[in-house]
Amino acid sequence: MAAHALSGPAGERRGHTIKRIAASETVAGWAFVMPAVILIAVFALIPIGWSLLLSLQSNNLIAPGHYVGLANYRALFKDHQFRSAIGHTVVYTAIFVPVSVGGALVVAVALNRKIRGIRFYRLAVFVPLVTSTVATGIIFLWLLDPTFGLFNYLLSLVGLPQQQFLQDPNQALYCIIAMTTWGWIGFDVIIYLAALQGIPADLLEAAEMDGASRLSTFRSVVVPLLGPATLFLVVWSTINALQLFDEIYVTTRGGPLGSTTMIVYYLYQQAFQFFNGGYGAAIAYVLFVAILLVTLVQMWIGRRRVYYSS
Amino acid sequence: MKRLVLFLTAGALALAGCGGSSSGGSGSGTTASGNVNITLWEGYTETEAAAINKLASEFNATHKGITVHVQFYGNNDYALQKVLAAIAGGKPPDISYLYGSWAPNIVTNPGIVQLNSLIAQDPSFNWNDFWPAARGVATVNGKIIGVPALIDNLALVYNKKLFAEAGIAPPTANWKWGEFERAAIKLTNTARKQFGWAYVNDASEDTVWRYWAMLWQAGGTILTPDGKHAAFNSPAGVKALTLLQTLAQHKSIYLDNGSGNYLGLFTSGHIGMLWTGPWDLANITASKIPYGVEILPADLNHQTISGPDNWVVFNNGSARTKAAWEFLKWLTSPAVDLKWATMTGDLPMRASVTKLPNYKQFVAKYPGVGVWVKNLGNATQTRPVSVLYPKISAVVGEAVQSVLLGRAQPQQALSQAEQQVNGILAAP
């Protein structure tokens, strides 16, 4: 981010006059971007640099630490709990992203109509997003309570067996996926709705006149035109999914039996429960690099596959 | 999540200046008239917040030359990070409320004041009058890092109505595990969604400390006396975990996922018994449910477990340290301690408080609280005061959870946990 901001105003240098203007433009340019540069430097770059140093230390975050080289990283590669946290996070992301983005597309198409009460439906889809993740977690704890929860009551009404949900190590992760999809889908829907309304009506008309069915119009015209929105949502959801924390912290605390321990929850445990600050920072750095790589791959695929209309 | 990572890095930032900045100027809080201003950080809400402010003004009015400024710093959970940042910034508070579980880590920070010599020079302070569990948590390898600020313990709280309905005699101080187990099973009624007991099953310390109480009751210990090996994988450990297993198999335990739902279910008559502390008393009393309090049932003994917190003093020069000490001495003196207890419902921190004439009023004001106070005498052991304890707790938490969920047998779970804990203790 900052590299971009820095290279912008550095300007072309051709001849003295231009140079002088460039110089003054440089000053003005810097003046404009300075507040942002300072904010980014103080709240992003310096902490990023510091956590790199921290990841090379043995540090309990209470007393001054000491440098241990790459010991934290070496320990990470041998840490089977970290490996299972990666496993849970990958499973979570691999299901959450397609389900929430795909589901949002279906919901957005359904909401992109002029029917009575459409504002209410749109609001209903959006409300979970503005509900705090903590509130979402507490609500679902009650809904999914094996004895007193609504879901088991509904199951009993239709004669299905009672489930343990968040208290079953085999089900908890999927409950978390369902819960977070419910919580986050509103954002994806809004983006898709905006993108749907940006599709030129004449293209749809042309497709209709050419005799395309509604389904093939959707597949061959609408979906490709939604490409940029889809790319954005996939990248954004993936980053969010890889960093899942709040909902885990509020509901399962990584359990039962570690079955929902995600990378960031494991980081939290190490840094703030076990006082392994350096180790936690190393986990954060591994995650940072992983997210960077995943995002780059997604952007690279996106550049080849996504159609930008203008 | 982003906040968390920033937090971590902010912690690192805070540490940058940690090395040299721990001693503020000795005169920085002293005015020309010789008055010493000291700051106390607390995270109390409601009743306790009002009480600490009231007592501080009382102290200020009666102690010329010292002014205590009480500052609310938000939730106690975040106290440690805030204090660390303040130490790095060169302006730590003089006194801060800190959780007892942080003690083994805090002792490594050069900014805290060790109280051993102050306590030794001042026989009137009478350190041994504090409950043993509280002294144990404030002492790390012989270094006293704080004055006890809170002490509690687990006792048995039961719903009298459910006991009467089930035709069971209420618990007594002589109850054994067998009676407890039979009562829990008899109080269970699946059709009415009624459970005999509740257990926090999030594998956190909340899961673990109740198990430690049972382990101690059966005569077991957590670690070997030298602290180098696990000792909980013993006949006592298996016996304690088997009690949990039996009750779980009878579906007599409501497994709370850590959100504290058990309390609402107890006050609405769905749970017969709780093992809990005085912190739940206000809600239980408010619910008007007919309840009784009794000490925990015994296997070999009635031991309970206690979770004390501390007032920790930070070094801002000798004048302010002395003032901070004066205040803490006054605050935890028997008469003031009783005043605090009567205002807040917290348990008194000194044994001698129970002999004061006004103690009767305290017990009368909070029905049942007297049992918890008496029960402090049963809190004879403490959890290992070690920086490794949180890791040990995490391992044992999963062992207990695996048995409660029917995924492992007690012996198998404990053997596995023992192996892991020994690995943690052996690590360099």
Predicted complex ipTM:
0.81
Residue A9: predicted pLDDT: 42
Are B108 and A63 within 8 A, CB to CB? yes
Straight-line distance from the first to the last Cα atom of chain B, in angstroms, rounded to the nearest whole number: 31
Q: Who wins on pLDDT, B1 or A76?
A: A76
Chain A residues touching B15 at Cβ < 8 A: 59, 61, 64-65
CB B157 within 8 A of CB B174: no
Residue A15: predicted pLDDT: 58
Q: Which of B2, B3, B8 to mutate to test the interface with A (most CBs of A within 10 A)?
A: B8
Tell me: do B69 and B106 sit in the same domain: yes
Tell me: do B341 and B402 sit in the same domain: no
B93 residue type, one letter: P
> CA torsion A118→A121→A123→A124, rounded to 10°?
170
Are A253 and B204 within 8 A, CB to CB? yes
- Domains held by chain B: number: 2
- Tell me the domain boundaries of chain A: 2-54, 74-305
pLDDT classification of A306: cutoffs 50, 70, 90: confident
Q: What residues 92-111 of chain B have any CB closer than 8 A to a CB of chain A?
A: 102, 105-106, 108-110
Record the tokens describing residue B185, joined without a space. 């099973």
How far is it, in rounded angstroms, from Cα B208 to Cα B154?
A: 13
Q: What residue spans of chain A are helical by DSSP H? A: 2-7, 16-40, 46-54, 71-78, 80-111, 118-130, 133-143, 150-157, 172-197, 201-209, 214-217, 223-225, 227-242, 246-250, 263-268, 277-305
Residues 6+ apart with CB under 8 A from B120: none
Strand ranges of the sheet holding B36-42, from the earlier edge strand across to the other edge:
B66-72, B36-42, B95-99, B309-313, B147-150
Q: Which residues lie across from B38 on neighbouring strands?
A: B68
Length of chain A: 310
Tell me: do B288 and B405 sit in the same domain: yes
Domain that holds residue B288: 155-306+382-426
Tell me: do B194 and B248 sit in the same domain: yes
Residue B5 lies in a domain: no
Q: Who wins on pLDDT, B282 or A124?
A: A124
CA B372 from chain centre, in angstroms, equals 13
Q: What is the pLDDT of residues A166-220, one digit of tens each?
A: 999 999 999 999 999 999 999 999 999 999 999 998 998 999 899 888 889 999 8
> By the CB < 8 Å criterion, does A142 face chain B?
yes
Q: How far is A306 from chain B (nearest CA, A)?
A: 29
Calculate mean pLDDT across residues A224-246.
95
A126-135: b (≥16 Cβ within 10 Å) or e:
bebbeeebee
Residue A13: predicted pLDDT: 47
> By the CB < 8 Å criterion, does B201 face chain A?
yes
Q: How far is A132 from chain B (nearest CA, A)?
A: 14
Superfamily of domain A74-305: MetI-like (1.10.3720.10)
Tell me: do B121 and B264 sit in the same domain: no
Q: What is the pLDDT along chain B (428 residues), one digit of tens a residue?
A: 334 444 444 444 444 333 333 333 344 455 556 799 999 999 887 788 899 999 999 999 999 999 999 999 887 777 887 888 888 788 899 999 999 888 998 888 888 999 999 999 999 999 999 999 999 999 998 999 999 999 999 999 999 999 999 999 999 999 999 999 999 999 999 999 999 999 999 999 999 999 999 999 999 999 999 999 999 999 999 999 999 999 999 999 999 988 788 999 999 999 999 999 988 887 888 888 999 999 999 999 999 999 899 999 999 999 999 999 999 999 999 999 999 999 988 999 999 999 999 999 999 988 889 999 999 999 999 999 888 999 999 999 999 999 999 999 999 999 999 999 999 999 86
CA A236 from chain centre, in angstroms, equals 5
Residue B414 lies in a domain: yes
Chain B residues touching A48 at Cβ < 8 A: 9
Residue A237 has pLDDT above 90, yes or no: yes
Residues 6+ apart with CB under 8 A from A109: A192, A196, A218, A222
How far is it, in rounded angstroms, from Cα A196 to Cα A299?
A: 22
Q: Which of A39, A60, A61 to mutate to test the interface with B (most CBs of B within 10 A)?
A: A61
Tell me: do B240 and B326 sit in the same domain: no
User: Whole-number mean pLDDT of chain A?
Assistant: 89
Are A53 and B12 within 8 A, CB to CB? yes
Tell me: do B278 and B223 sit in the same domain: yes
How far is it, in rounded angstroms, from Cα B154 to Cα B295?
A: 8
Q: For residue B15, give the chain A residue with the closest CA.
A: A64
Rg (CA), chain A: 24
Which candidate, B215, B232, B216, places its Cα nearest to that of B414?
A: B232
Residue B375: predicted pLDDT: 95
Highest-scoring range by mean pLDDT, A20-29, A94-103, B38-47, B101-110: A94-103
Q: What is the pLDDT of residues A197-208, one digit of tens each?
A: 999 989 989 998
Are A253 and B193 within 8 A, CB to CB? no
B22-47: b (≥16 Cβ within 10 Å) or e:
bebeeeebbeeeeebebbbbbbbeee
Strand, coil or helix: what is B189?
strand
Residue B406 lies in a domain: yes
Residue A11: predicted pLDDT: 44
Tell me: do B338 and B276 sit in the same domain: no
Q: For residue A135, give the chain B residue with the closest CA.
A: B259
**DSSP single-letter state for residue B291:** E
Residue B323 lies in a domain: yes
Which residue from B8, B84, B195 is facing A271, i.e. has the nearest CB? B8
Tell me: do B289 and B188 sit in the same domain: yes
Residues 6+ apart with CB under 8 A from A207: A217, A220, A221
Q: For residue B11, give the chain A residue with the closest CA.
A: A61
Tell me: do B269 and B174 sit in the same domain: yes
What CATH number has the domain bearing residue B66? 3.40.190.10
Model-level pTM? Answer: 0.84
Residue A243: predicted pLDDT: 96
Using a 10 angstrom Cβ sphere, with 0-12 exposed, 13-18 middle and 19 or more buried, the burial of residue B402 is buried
Q: Who wins on pLDDT, B232 or A24?
A: B232
Q: What residues 73-92 of chain B have any CB closer than 8 A to a CB of chain A?
A: 80-81, 84
Record the tokens describing residue A129, joined without a space. 């997003």
Chain A residues touching B106 at Cβ < 8 A: 62
Q: How many CA atoms lie within 13 A of A266 on its CB side?
A: 25
Residue B281: predicted pLDDT: 85
Tell me: do B257 and B313 sit in the same domain: no
Tell me: do B204 and B300 sit in the same domain: yes
Residue B19 lies in a domain: no
